[in-house]
Amino acid sequence: MNSIRTPKRRLITSALPYANGPIHVGHMAGAYLPADIYVRYLRSAGEEVVWVCGSDEHGAAITLRAKKDGITPKEIVDRYHNEMQGAFKGLDISFDHYSRTSSEKHHKVAQDFFLKLLENKSFEVKTEEQYFDQEADQFLADRYITGSCPKCQAEGAYGDQCEKCGSTLSPRELINPKSTLSGSKPVLKPTTLWYLPMGRHEGWLREYIEKGVLNGELHHDAKKWKSHVVGQCKSWIDGGLQSRAMTRDLKWGVPVPVEGAEGKVLYVWLDAPLGYITSTMEWAEKNGQDWRKWWQDPETELMHFIGKDNIVFHCIIFPILLKEHGDFNLPHQVPANEFMNLEGDKISTSRNWAVWVSEFLENNPESSDPMRYVLTSIMPEQKDSEFTWNDYRDRINNELADVLGNFVNRVLVLTRKYYEGAVPAILEGQKLTEVDTSLINELESASEKIGDLILRFRFREAQLEAMNIARKGNKYLTEEEPWKLQKTDPARVEVIMHLACQVVGNLGVLLEPFLPRTAEKISISFGVSGSKWNDASPSLVKPGTILGDLPILFSKVDEETVGAEIAKLGDNDTDKKLNIMPQKEQTTFDNFTSMDLRVATVTECIPVEKTKKLLQLTVDTGLDIRTVVSGIAEHFSPEEVIGRKVVLLVNLAPRNIRGVESQGMVLMATTDDGKLRFITPEEGVNAGDVIS
């Protein structure tokens, strides 16, 4: 049997996100951020790679959502196609091409593929009785039908799955079935469906999954697949592969291109992965390339980044479809991640238990790299992980700001102070200490070490290694204390500063896959922009380079931000009533009396520029006239605020909020519909009156 060659080029895909809701951090950590790190590394290392993705815009869940919102499926997918692209752009997810499955081009690609499978006799056509909603005039597949679970008796099980016990179901198994469209009891009516008889494929699938063998040849190194991926596939195959319908009686989707199949569309799990092919075709057309090279040349490696909920589709169903077609490569690697939980609970779109990427970046426009950093630090590579806002704050403050930001800044400041910003050289004959040599050796081996971890999908460790370079540089500077030697041994200080500059320059290259914006800033300042992965070395930065300006790389995250983010979780209309804030921890009388609360009158009010949430209030406290910034602009217009009496915490330390110094805080009540309201004093209470 032949051995596995190093691939000539790689085609990378990330799971097509489903266009019926915004992107959250769990999605990012599952299929997009790991692929982005992987692809950025390959590009920097000069490898041939293309990375495609796109929006998955078909399926019953989208039509149901449209129905609920009273708009068309097209409006739903347009909205989320844009939202998702914005979220990816915001987090610097660097797809080569992003497509969508509702496009004409994709419909054609999917229909041609289906016809080829039809020609190859890959389907079994069966006419059988299916549930039909007479009021809605529609067959009820998957999520259109609910009832009690035949396995665990739970109510509200769907036609394809019981979410309570996890069983895979078919609509006919449900007890007391009900249409989710009209609520009526459905009737049985015959319809024709195209089934993929998966049982036929069990033999070769086992070889492919367990041994990495395809058509009697070694196809990929099965030992390099993640054990949870192989485990899930094996248990599916062991459970017996059932035939699966590849068409649905629905109006929204890719029409089945067969005469007499009006009102039928391709099953979304047939059409969605073909979106990878469409996306590659579009990319190739744009770049004057032949797409076939990327899907049909055996020297191209095909790799799917996904979350664990998509494993069987990418490792079993899609490979069957590709093999049945005959012209395409099969996946060589599927590095699926597990799930990321959030603050002690599963991420849930319907309960609004999520960190929405677009919303987060809108409120924290400089936090793209910090968010990438935290998500990579806790990436669920081998098992589920958990995101918490306290951990987010600690990692930014203690790692990015205190170690990386602080180190880079110190090197810049000292180089400017001692050498007017020009990187010093190590003079001929200058002796290096053991510590110097050890640092040089670190830089010598760093790129290979980090690259190797990335290629093995160990992104957490890879980022840790890259950060360790900064840690070692920081420690070196702290222990060598150049500021103590500058007067007595300037030649020694030149060695120290030369090496410190080399460490920073290398960070500009080695951090790029993880923190692209930070790496770019460092690279520009230290004169190494355009450097590639293999340029990283102890002599990367040229002596004499004049260091450019560098803004503060990371600002610290305060308690208020953490508190506000946690408070947003689960904050939606449906469970608002259940969401009464528990009593806070006990406080003391002294703590309370340390707060100076007074009644104040608002005399002026204007919006704070370039913000949506903030108003700038001028208030008369009885003591003085002062300025207070308040986050109430979404609840009140300035006109509604002027003239009001408010309760003000007057001795709160002044804070600079978006360029305005706020001297105090207006107290507001949050009512159970989520609105903010003023606490209005009784008649006769005046500005300056003390509250105690």
Residue numbers at the binding site for Zn ion (CB under 5 A): 149, 151-152, 154, 162, 164-165
Residue 268: CB minimum distance to Zn ion, A = 23
Residue 166: CB minimum distance to Zn ion, A = 7
Strand residues in 90-183 grouped as ranges (E):
97-100, 124-133, 138-139, 145-148, 157-158, 175-179
Residue 162 or 454 having the CB closest to Zn ion: 162
Residue 164 or 655 having the CB closest to Zn ion: 164
Residue 61: CB minimum distance to Zn ion, A = 19
Residue 177: CB minimum distance to Zn ion, A = 14
Q: How many CB atoms lie within 10 A of CB 518?
A: 24
The whole-angstrom separation of Cα 346 and Cα 339 is: 9
123: three-class secondary structure by DSSP: coil
Residue with tokens 């799930």: 339
Residue 165 or 623 having the CB closest to Zn ion: 165
Residue 169: CB minimum distance to Zn ion, A = 8
Residue 346: CB minimum distance to Zn ion, A = 17
Residue 165 or 546 having the CB closest to Zn ion: 165
Residue 198 DSSP code:
G
Tokens describing residue 156? 């509200």
Tell me the CA distances in angstroms from 39 to 13, 330, 457, one per residue in order: 10, 20, 11
Residue with tokens 């849930």: 348
Residue 496's contacts (CB-CB under 8 Å, 6 or more residues apart) are 476, 477, 480, 482, 485
Residue 100's contacts (CB-CB under 8 Å, 6 or more residues apart) are 19, 54, 55, 57, 77, 81, 106, 275
Residue 138: CB minimum distance to Zn ion, A = 25
Tokens describing residue 682? 């009784």
Residue 175 or 566 having the CB closest to Zn ion: 175
Residue 176: CB minimum distance to Zn ion, A = 14
Residue 152 or 685 having the CB closest to Zn ion: 152
Residue 165 or 427 having the CB closest to Zn ion: 165
Residue with tokens 């602009």: 633
Q: How many CB atoms lie within 10 A of CB 190?
A: 9
Residue 285 or 309 having the CB closest to Zn ion: 309
Residue 286: CB minimum distance to Zn ion, A = 47
Backbone angles phi and psi of 607, in degrees to 5? -70, 150
Tell me the CA distances in angstroms from 149 to 138, 176, 643, one per residue in order: 23, 9, 60
Backbone angles phi and psi of 550, in degrees to 5? -140, 120
Helices 33-44 and 459-480 cross at an angle (nearest 10°) of 70
Residue 149 or 446 having the CB closest to Zn ion: 149
Residue 67 or 164 having the CB closest to Zn ion: 164
Backbone angles phi and psi of 210, in degrees to 5? -80, -35
Residue 161: CB minimum distance to Zn ion, A = 9
Backbone angles phi and psi of 538, in degrees to 5? -70, -5
